[in-house]
Structure 1
Amino acid sequence: MQKLAKKLENISGAEIIAKVKCEALPEVSMKETVKACVDEYFEQVDAIVFVTASGIAVRSVAEHLTHKSKDPAIVCMDECSKHVISLVSGHAGGANALTQMLADVMWATPVITTATDVEGQFSIDDYAREHNLVVTDWAKAKAISAEVLATGAKPVWVDEAEVSQEEEKNACEVCKEQKSTGIDVGKIENDGCENEIGVQKLQIGSHQVVITPQDVSVDAQTLQLIPRCIVAGVGCKKGIPVDKIEHAVQDAFAKAGLRMEALCAVVSIDLKKEEAGLLEFCETRNVPFETYAAEELQAVPGTYSASEFVSGVTGVDNVCERSAVKYASEHGMNQGEQLLGRQAKHGELLLRKQAYGGVTVALAYVCSE
C-alpha cells in the first residue's frame, strides 16, 4: 500500500494519505475500522482507493453516496493487484481515469463498466471533468449520453455561420447588443474595463452544448458547461461576516453577466490571510484562497482605481483589482481560448472595483495565452 501511495504521489503530484488495516502488521495498522476511516475522509478527498474485497468497499461508502457530481472517485483493487475496478463516479469524479492509471502502474487489468466507455463513445461528463467545466444540468447530461449510446452521435463544433438569429434574440442581457459572429460575443464595459466573452457551441445529435461562464438562457435541448475561469479579487474591513462577502461577490458576478460556478479562486492582500469571513466563503465555495504582500500588489503593472485611504492602511493603492490581475496573470488554465473563444486577454480585468459597504470586489479572467 505504501509503495503504491508513493508511486501515485510521484506520478500525479497529489497528496496521498495511506491507511493500513491488517492484524498481521500491528506496527502500521490503524486502530479505527475501515468504515470509520471512510467516514472521516469521504467529504475531504477527491478519491478513495480500496485494496480489499469490493464488498467491503461498497459497504463502507454506501451511506455517503449522494450524486456523481459530488462523490469522490471510488476505486477498488485486489491485494494481488490483478484487477482494478472503477466503482463510483467514473466520469465526473475521475474514477475511470484513476482506474486506468493504477492498472498501468501495477500491470493490472482495469475493470470499467460505464456504458460510453464500453461502447467507445463520447461522454459529456468525462469531457467536462477533463476540461474543468461545471455541468449545470445532470438530467440533460444524462439525455445526451443516452442519445450518444442510442445513435452513436459525435460531438461537432458549431460553425460560426450556423448560429441563428433566434439564438441571438434569446441571449442574455449582457449579449443583446452584440455583433453576432457565430461564436456569440458579449461585451462587458465597467469603468473603462472593456473585454469580450465568447460562447463555444457543440452539437451532439439533437442536443447542443454551450460552453461559457456567462449567465445565458438555454432551451430544453441545450446544456451549459461553465469553465472555472474567473478569479475574484476581494478587499474587506476586518471582521466582515461571510454573508456580506457572499452578497458582494454574487452581485459582482451578476453585474458582469457571469455564473457563480465560474469562480475558480479568491485573492486578497496578506493582511487578510486569516480573515474568518473570507476563509469561510472560500471553504463553502470550495475554491482556493491566496494572498499577496503589499509590495507584490503594488508592483503589478496597469492602471487601477487608486485609494489614498486603502494605501495608508495596507501599503497598496488598490487590493481587489491588483490581486485579481496578479493571480490571473500567474495561473493559466488549459481550456483557454479554445473553449472560451474569447477576445479578452489573459490576466485582464473583466470587472473593475465594486464597493459594497466594507467589501470591494474585482473580477479577472484566468486563462492560458
Structure 2
Amino acid sequence: MNKPYAAVAITKHGVEMARGLTEIFPAADLFYMSKFARGDEEAKDIRLFEGSVKLILPDLFKAYNGIILFISLGAVVRMIAPILVDKKQDPAVVVIDDRGEHVISVLSGHLGGANELTREVALAIGARPVITTASDVQQTIPVDMFGRSFGWKIESFERATPVSASVVNEERVVVVQETGEKNWWMYDKPLPSHIQVLHSAEAAMEIDFQAALVITDRLLNLREESVLLRNGVLYRPQSLVLGIGCNRGTSVEEIEALILDTLLELKLSVKSVRNIATIDLKKDEPGLLEVCAKQGWKLITYTPEQLNTVTLKNPSETVHRFTGAYGVSEPAALLSSGAAEWLLEKKKSGNCTISVARVPFEAAAVDRESL
C-alpha cells in the first residue's frame, strides 16, 4: 500500500471521474480495468487489472484503510459480503454513482472512517454526501467514535451496539465524565435532553438510566462496573503523565514493573497514560525508550533549568549534584501535565523514582446547568 485509500472504477464514465478525483485527492491509489488504458498509466502510477473487480477486492480490503468504488451500490454489496469480517477490521467503503452525483458511505462509517471519507470525496468532486448512520443523521453522540479525536481508548466495546441504540432511541443516557477533554459535543445545538452529564460515578449511581458512557482514568470497583457497565461503554482518556527518574542502564522490566505496580496501587488505568516525562539526560535511556515504544507513549524531556522552575517540597541536593536538577520525576510530571499538584508526588523503588500527575482539563462545555 502506497496510500491510505484505493479508488476503483469499471466503467468509462467511472474511469473519467476516478482519474479526476485522484488529481485533486492524492491520498488514493487508482485502479481500473485495462480496457480503458490510455497509455499514461505507468507514468501516473495507475494500476490496471483484467477480469472482474471482485477478484481484487479481497487484496484491497487487506491493503487499504478505505476503498472508493465507482460502481453501483447493489453490485458492491454483493461483492463485499463474502469478505466482511467485523466493524473493527473492515476498511471504509464508499460508493459513487456513475454520474458522480452521490457519494455514499457503505461500510465502517464510524470506526473505519467511511463517513468522514464520504464528506471529503463529495466535497472534492462536488457531489452530495449520503450518510445514513443514525448518530450522524440525528446529530448525537457516536458511541463507537466518542472521544476518538482526543485519543480516548474504548476499554469495554461489547456493549457499544445496545448503548448506541439507547442514544439514538432517546432513552435516558448518562455521561459520567471524571476526567478528559470536555469539548466533545460537536454540534451547534444544545445537548439532547435525554443525555445527562455527571462528573462522578458516585453521582451516576444514584439516578436511573438506560445506558452509560463512562469517561475515567480510574479502575472501577465491582459495584461501579455492575451498575455503570451493565449497559455502558468505558472510555480511557489520555489524562495521566508519569514522571520517571532512573539510574543509567535500568532495565525496561524494572521500569515497567514500577509503572504497573504504582498505577494499580493508585487504582488508575495504564490505558490512560499519555506520556512519560523525565530529564533530558535520559532522552536516550534504553529502558525508558523501550517501555515507551512498547506502550505507544511519547517520552518528553526537560533541561535541569526547566525542572528547577518547579518548587519542590523535598528538593534533593544529591540529585542536583549529579544532574543539575533538584528533582526529576516530580517536576517533570507537573511540567508535562500542566497540573498544580501530583496524584503521587514521588515513589522510589530500586533504580527508579516515579511521580504521577493528572492533566487538568477545562470546565465542562456541555454541563446541563449551562445549557
In the TM superposition, residue 363 of structure 1 has moved relative to its aligned partner by: 1.2
Q: Which residue of 1 aligns with 2:348?
A: 355
- The 1:144/1:265 distance shift into structure 2, 3 A limit, reads same
1:362 aligned partner, one-letter code: S
Same amino acid, percent of matched pairs: 27
Q: Are 1:29 and 2:45 an aligned pair?
A: yes
Q: CA RMSD in A?
A: 4.2
- Are the structure 2 counterparts of residues 347 and 139 from structure 1 closer, same or farther at C-alpha, using a change threshold of 3 Å? same
Does the alignment pair 1:302 with 2:295?
Answer: no
* 1:288 counterpart residue number: 298
Specify every segment of 5 or more residues in structure 2 that has no aligned partner in the other structure, as ranges. Answer: 1-21, 33-38, 50-55, 177-197, 363-371
Q: Does 1:74 align with 2:92?
A: yes
Instruction: Check 1:25–1:314 CA distance in 2 against 1; reply closer, same or farther (3 A cut).
Output: farther
CA distance in 2 between counterparts of 1:239 and 1:145 reads: 48
Query: Residue 164 of structure 2 is aligned with which of 142, 145, 150?
Result: 145
| 2:110/2:144 contact within 8 Å kept | yes
> Residue 210 of structure 1 corresponds to which residue in structure 2?
214
Structure 2 residue aligned with 1:367: 360
* 8 Å contact kept, 1:201–1:208: no
For structure 1, the residue ranges without an aligned partner over 5 or more in a row are 6-16, 43-47, 159-181, 186-197, 330-345
Partner SS state of residue 103, structure 1: helix
- Which residue type is aligned with residue 159 of structure 2? K
Cα shift at 1:249: 1.3
Deviations 1:158-204 (A, max 9, x none): 8xxxxxxxxxxxxxxxxxxxxxxx8549xxxxxxxxxxxx9878989
State how far apart, in whole Å, the 1-side matches of 2:293 and 2:100 are: 36
Give the structure-2-normalised TM-score: 0.63
**CA separation in 1, counterparts of 2:135 and 2:305?**
52
Q: Structure 1, residues 311-336: CA drift from partner, whole Å, max 9, x if none?
A: 2332212121211111112xxxxxxx
CA contact (8 A) 1:230 1:363 kept: yes
Q: Separation in 1 of the partners of 2:345 and 2:130?
A: 50
Which residue does 2:173 correspond to in 1? 155
Q: Counterpart of 1:243?
A: 253
Aligned to 1:174: none
Whichever residue aligns with residue 327 of structure 2, its letter is: N
For the 8 Å contact 1:157–1:202, the answer to whether it is kept is: no
Aligned mate of 1:123, from 131, 137, 142: 142
Maintained 8 Å contact 2:152/2:238:
yes
Q: Tell me, what secondary structure is at the counterpart of 2:118?
A: helix
**Would you say the 8 A contact 1:75–1:95 is kept in 2?**
yes
**CA offset at residue 227 of structure 1?**
2.1
CA distance, structure 2, for counterparts of residue 121 and residue 227 of structure 1: 20
* TM-score, length-scaled by structure 1: 0.63
Contact 2:163 2:232 in 1 (8 A): no
Matches within 5 A, 1:219-234: 219=226, 220-234=230-244
Larger radius of gyration: 2
Q: 1:290: how far off?
A: 1.9
Q: Which amino acid aligns with 2:148?
A: R
**Cα 1:200/1:230, change in 2 over 3 Å:** farther
Query: How many residue pairs are counted as aligned between the two chains?
Result: 296
